[in-house]
Amino acid sequence: MTDDAGNEVKTPVPEDLSAAQAPAFDEGMLDVGDGHSIYWRAQGPKDAPVMLIVHGGPGGAMNLKWGDVLDASKWRMVFFDQRGCGKSTPFGKLEHNGTKELVSDMEKLRVLLGIEKWALFGGSWGTTLALSYGVTHPERCRGFLLRGIFLARRQDIDWFLWDVQRVFPDAHRKFLDAIEAASGEYPLNAAEILSLTGAPLARFDEAGIKLARAWSGYEATLSVVNKPVATKADAAEAAGTEPARPQASPEETRESNAAAISMSLLEHHYMAHELPPEPLLPRIGRIAHLPCVLVHGRFDMVCPADQALALADAWPRAQLSIVDAAGHWTFEPGNVTALKAGGEFLARALTAG
C-alpha cells in the first residue's frame, strides 16, 4: 500500500513462516528529496512508546540486533538507513548528504508514520545525529538512550584518525600503510589522512575497495575490549564490515564490500566537512529537561569516555553509566547489560509521564 504522499509502505511475511509466526513489521522507502530515498522499518506494538533507532557510522546502516537490547513488548521500534547507505538510495551519494539533511529526513519519517513524539536510541555517530535531531526538534522528543557518545569535535575526530596510535600503534600503522598503497603518499597527521583518502574511496575500484576494507577493519580493531566474549570478528560482523571469507559467495563478497565502502566513504565525508556544522554541547539545554541514559565503555578507543562525561555535565538530568571492561562495541556484555537497564528505566519514565 502507499501513504497519502504516495510513498510505498509494505507489511511483508517471510515465505517460510506462517502469518502467526512471522514478526510483524512495516517497511517502506521515503523520498526525502535531493535525489535521495531512505529505507525504514517499524516493528513492535503500535500502542507502545516509539523508539527511533539511529545507527552509527556515518554509513553503518541499520542493525536489527540493536532491537534485542530493548524489551520488544514495551517499544514500537523504528529503524532507518541514513542517506547513501544500507537499502537507502542512491548508494554512496555524497551530494546533499549532511547532518542537517539527515535531521530533516528523521522529521519527515516521523510525519510519515504519524508519530507525535518519540524517544531516540543511538550509538557512536548515532548519538551525534540523535542529539542533533533533539536540539533541532526538542518538542518531538521524549527521551534518549545513548551509547558510545561522539560529540564530533575536532579533537574527537583527531583521536580516531591519529592520537589513538598511542594505544594501537600496530593497527594504526597498518591503516597508514593502506593509505599509502592507495594514494601513493604516507600521511603524517590526521588532516593528511583525510586529504589522501577522499579520492581513492570515491573511485569504487579495486584500490578503493582495499582502502575501504582497511578503514573499516581499523575501526573494528579499535572497537572491542572484551575479546573473550565479544571478538573483533563478531564486532566486524555486527557492523557489517567483516572481511570477505575465502568461502564467501560472490553475493556475500559484494555485500561485504558495499558495507565497508559506505562506512569509510561517508565517515570520511562527514569528518572532512566537520559535520555537524554547529557544536552540540552549547545547545543541549534545549533537551536537558528530558530523561536520558548515557552508556559508555571505559576503554572505548573509538570515542573516548571523556565525551560522555562532558555531555553529562551539560545535562544534569542524564544518568551516566561508564562500563568497566567494555569498549565501543554495542554488544559487549557490560554494554548490553547497561543498555537493557537504561531501556527499562526510559520505558518506566515515559509510562509514568
- The active-site residue out of 124, 216, 262, 321 is 124
Q: Is 296 a catalytic residue?
A: no
- In angstroms, rounded to a whole number, what is the distance separating the alpha carbons of residues 332 and 131? 23
- The active-site residue out of 55, 268, 300, 321 is 300
- In angstroms, rounded to a whole number, what is the distance separating the alpha carbons of residues 27 and 103? 20
- In angstroms, rounded to a whole number, what is the distance separating the alpha carbons of residues 222 and 172? 10
- What is the radius of gyration, based on Cα positions, of the chain? 19
96 three-state secondary structure: coil
- In angstroms, rounded to a whole number, what is the distance separating the alpha carbons of residues 264 and 222? 15
Beta strands (DSSP E) in the chain are 9-10, 25-33, 36-43, 50-54, 76-80, 118-123, 141-147, 292-297, 319-323
Q: Is 124 a catalytic residue?
A: yes
Q: How many helices (H) and strands (E) does the chain have?
A: 10, 9
Q: Is 105 a catalytic residue?
A: no
Catalytic site positions: 124, 300, 328
